[in-house]
Amino acid sequence: MTETRHNWTKEEVMEVYNTPLMELLYQAATVHRENHNPNQVQVSTLLSIKTGGCPEDCGYCPQAARYHTDIEGNDLMSVQQVKAQALRAKSSGSSRVCMGAAWRNVKDGPEFDNVLEMVRTINKLDMEVCCTLGMITENQAQRLAEAGLYAYNHNLDTSEDYYKDVISTRAFQDRLDTIDNVRKTNVTVCSGGIIGMGEQLEDRAGMLVALASLSPQPESTPINALVPVEGTPMEEFEKVSIWEMVRMVATTRIILPNTQVRLSAGRTDMSREGQAMCFFAGANSIFAGDKLLTTPNPDVNEDMKMFKLLGLQPMKPFAKKAQPESVEAQYSKFKEQGEKPKWSRPGHKIERNEEAKAKAKL
Ligand code: SF4
């Protein structure tokens, strides 16, 4: 096992990122082999259990209510609908279901109770369950853990410095606080970010430094490439090149040796050769299914053909950590407290977010 370092500096990370490519790939693949089976890739299915209408202003997100995008919103799915989708995901090779709700934060009440029931239902299908529901309190994290949640996703998105150019409705520290609340339970942490949002290399490095400094480091780290969506403040941004993706994946692998590095949004723009290079560089997880919340994703059959071609196998569930038990609602030790996570409102103006909002009103 490679020793985990929590004290990386931005300069060191940038030096890794800029290593001549063949050398970088070799170093990353070596770290990968020391800590993971290079022929196994974990497959997750992302389900949007509640789409659109989010009050936040994340500049990349088509689900923010303030921007005009073509996203069709929907209310919270039912437990039965989620179970049917999870069974379908399981039969096509997924070991994990990640449920995403476009909420700023979790609110105690019937909707959250339904989410807890979804967690129990999927865990009983012997699949790993992950949720991404926005900010949560410690009590809410405990209740999710008790229902059998395996992982909670809350991305840092980018560096603390550049974060101020992407989101104005909550602060970077609020994200760290939610991750901290998850860490008080036995639920694993999934946290990563997005490249291609106009950030500098320094910001990519800054994000990795922030992730590396978490102790323990996240068990899984999604690396997304921005998918520019019409109507969002980043609609005209250029897509990142495969070379940037490969370098980012390889650098993440070296900085976070034990994490599962996940290829996430932007995979439709990557060729099989490009994806193969990312797997070689240390990516060992993908999202399956034709949609990633709201953006397109490769067809699952295409993914399975690619796996066959490359000799990759989908990882079995609970390969890294034992399956949690699900406690039924009536036996819960935790009562709802009706409290909201505390968050700050930096409230500064981000010009491109304001422009997109004004355009949406026209
Ligand atoms: S990324 Fe999440 S919090 Fe931000 S606008 Fe989209 S749904 Fe809301």
Q: Which of 170, 175, 190, 247 is catalytic?
A: 190
Q: Would residue 130 show up in a list of annotated catalytic residues for this protein?
A: yes
Mean pLDDT score, 250-273? 95
- CA dist 67 and 35 (Å) reads 42
Q: Give the pLDDT confidence score for residue 19 in this predicted structure.
A: 98
Burial class of residue 331 (count of CB atoms within 10 Å of its CB; 0-12, 13-18, 19+)? exposed
Tokens 């977010």 correspond to: 353
Active-site residue 262, yes or no?
yes
For 278-305, the pLDDT digits (tens) are: 999 999 999 887 665 666 667 778 888 9
Ligand 1: list residues with CB < 6 Å: 54, 56, 58, 61, 63-64, 102, 104, 134
DSSP state of 33: H
Q: Is 168 exposed, middle or buried (0-12, 13-18, 19+ CB in 10 A)?
A: buried
Closest ligand 1 atom to 134 CA: 3
DSSP 76-98: PPPHHHHHHHHHHHHHTT-SEEE
Q: What pLDDT shows up at residue 150?
A: 98
Cα of 194 from ligand 1 centre, angstroms: 13
- Kindly give the number of the ligand 1 atom that is closest to the alpha carbon of 132: 2
Residue from 358, 306, 345, 353 nearest 104 by CA:
345
Give the CA angle between residues 209, 214, 216 to the nearest 5°: 130
Average pLDDT of the residues in 89-104? 93
Catalytic residue among 54, 120, 143, 253: 54
Question: What's residue 292's pLDDT?
Answer: 59
| Residue 300 CA, ligand 1 centroid: distance in Å | 25
Chain mean pLDDT for the chain: 94
Active-site annotation holds for 54: yes
Closest residue to atom 4 of ligand 1, CA basis: 58
Tell me the whole-structure pTM to 2 decimals. Answer: 0.95
pLDDT at 341: 84
Task: Pick from 50, 54, 76, 131 the residue to mutate for probing ligand 1's pocket: most ligand atoms within 8 Å of its CB.
Answer: 54
Substitution site in 49, 60, 63 for ligand 1 pocket (most atoms within 8 Å of beta carbon) = 63
pLDDT, residue 294, reads: 67
Closest CA to 281 of 26, 18, 104, 54: 26
Specify the residue for token string 């994806």: 275
Active site (annotated) includes residue 58? yes
> Is 61 an active-site residue?
yes
Q: Is the confidence at residue 70, as pLDDT, over 90?
A: no
